Structure 1
């Protein structure tokens, strides 16, 4: 520790003791103060550090503050390396260090607060390391939280997508099953309908019969040609040898029998529903008007009378006794017959 240098000479020596505020009559004459003296004059009263002109504390004020703190910390003892014994220093009754600094602007200097004066570099490094570790821990926690939220969201989206896909698959399967069931039902209905129709036609076939046998279809309904006065064929021709038996297709009554111009020998069979069956070009007639006949009864024989180019049976069907005929082929098929 450096020794105290001798005090500089006072620039002036007033005759009376100088004190801040007012003069004191109980103090002795002014003398030069040397802190190395064997004894010190007791200090009385309050003492304040004066300010420099121009504002702010003198630069020595910081040194004074540090010195005060060091002196107090050392138990009020100071020593000089001059070989002299240590001298006690009595501190004046100061309220606190802050009272030495006025309300003026704080002097410029180190920005380190007083609370850190006792901290070592290791303490500072440890504090910085602790703060960094806390920040890193916080960041990692936030990252883990965000990652957990992202994973939860992704899992929820995956579950939703799987549920949607399963729902779509189930809906598709249900739709296909429904379509398959409808198709099977429709097919079954069609088969049942066909079966019923076949049964109906089978029953009708027992009630109806083809008009002749050993025949060949030579002309169909609506066929065009110069052979017919209307320009088209009005019936169905069954080519068969002359004398082949002609039969009643269904139960009915003979309403006409005789020669009829271009039709030759013609017989008209009227059924119970009013449908008329015309048999033309016969070689002979075996029934008379008003006669009741049953299915399959012989009513005449095949011939080539009237406007005819060969032996055949010309068959016409007139629904409800109308003048214009309908297709005999379709009518016979509707009765379960296949010409």
Structure 2
């Protein structure tokens, strides 16, 4: 059986394209057909600092290039805004030189790599801007925290210094108070010691004087004291110290001295005046008898007379008066005798 030869294929006529292939009612020129255009290194020369895309034939590619350009500008703008927020200098974004825009839509294996590299660079720049913004925020936070810690440290240091100053002042006040109290105690102790020493010295002195002085009579009763008021005395008060004792009781010299008077003295009766070496006069009055004479030297304990009731009296007694330096007005004999270590 004979075989027929296949009919030759009809040549491709672009003008016979159906009008509704893209859903339009009529044929549109921007839908093709297009000539194949392969850019070369001579046809597209990259411009330093700017990336230009060669003008393509056909309106569809132009629109696609415009969309890509807007996306790139938006990415770059976002990176610039991120840089502006971080307060750091803008990040330089390097875009690779594209041979042609048409190559982005080529079905060859090289086209997707170029597109991927370009978009990856934009994403990396955006991520870097976000990282810079995060780093700037972290740095600001760290700076604020450092300032807060520094202020807190200063406040704590100030409070510590104030507490130390208060403690030092309290310690100083306590030390001053203790020192003052110690000084007061020391002064009081010194005063007491001085008083005790003075008292002891006085006692020793009086003990020595007691050996040199003695009371005028041995057995007696005090019946009248110095300054006692009464009409029986011409001066209106008693001027001496009365030792009541029986008549004839011996009267002895209180201390050594010289007899400057011995005889009758009116209201004093018989009176003997003994003048001591310091000029003090001792008057012994109302004696019943006198045993010494004027100018005679006597010593402590020598008998100078006897108790009597002569003169202005109500009974036998010795009336003793003490006149310092021979003055007319006498002093209290009781006080004077105690000053000599004697206790009437």
- Aligned partner (choices 283, 290, 304) of residue 288 of structure 2: 283
- 2:175 aligned residue: 170
Q: Deviations over 1:154-175 (max 9, x none)?
A: 2222222222222222222222
Alpha-carbon spacing, 1:6–1:308, altered in 2? closer, same or farther (3 Å): farther
Greater fraction of residues in helix = 2
Residue 227 of structure 2 corresponds to residue 227 of structure 1: no
**CA-to-aligned-CA distance 1:53-108 (integer Å, 9 cap, x gap):** xxxxxxx9x95992797997543132798x999xxxxxxxxxxxxxxxxxxxxxxx
Q: Give per-residue Cα distances to partners, 1:218-246, cap 9 Å, x unaligned.
A: 21111111110110111111122222211
Which residue of the other structure, out of 31, 34, 37, is the alignment partner of 1:36? 34
The alignment covers a number of residue pairs equal to 266
Change (3 A) 1:236 1:6: farther
Structure 2: state its 5+ residue gaps.
1-21, 23-27, 44-62, 74-94, 109-120
TM-score by length of 2: 0.67
CA distance, structure 2, for counterparts of residue 271 and residue 179 of structure 1: 45
Matches within 5 A, 1:89-238: 118=123, 126-238=131-243
Alpha-carbon spacing, 1:201–1:305, altered in 2? closer, same or farther (3 Å): same
- Relative distance call for 1:78 and 1:332 in structure 2 (3 A) is same
Q: Structure 1 residues 69 and 327, CA, compared in 2 at 3 Å: closer, same or farther?
A: closer
Q: d(CA) in 1 for partners of 2:305 and 2:122? A: 147
Distance change >3 Å, CA 216–CA 74, structure 1 → 2 = same
Correspondence for 1:66: 69
Deviation at 1:181, TM superposition (A): 1.7
Equivalent residues in 2 for 1:37-56, closer than 5 Å:
37-38=35-36
- Give the one of 257, 260, 265 matched to 1:260: 265
Deviation sequence 1:225-278 (CA, Å, 0-9, x none) = 111011011111112222221111111111111121111111111112221111
Aligned mates of 1:80, 1:263 — CA distance in 2: 162
Q: Does the C-alpha gap of structure 1 residues 220 and 63 become closer, same or farther in structure 2, counting only changes over 3 Å?
A: farther
Structure 2 equivalent of residue 298 of structure 1: 303
Distance 1:69 1:290, change over 3 A: closer
- Structure 1 stretch displaced more, 153-162 or 294-303: 153-162
CA displacement 1:130-183 (0-9 Å, x = unmatched):
333222211111121122222222222222222222222222222222222222
Looking at structure 2, the residues matched to 79 and 238 of structure 1 have their Cα atoms a distance apart, in angstroms, of: 158
- 316 and 72 in structure 1: CA distance in 2 versus 1, 3 angstrom threshold: closer
Q: Which stretches in structure 1 are left out of the alignment for 5+ residues?
A: 8-33, 44-59, 86-115
TM-score by length of 1: 0.67
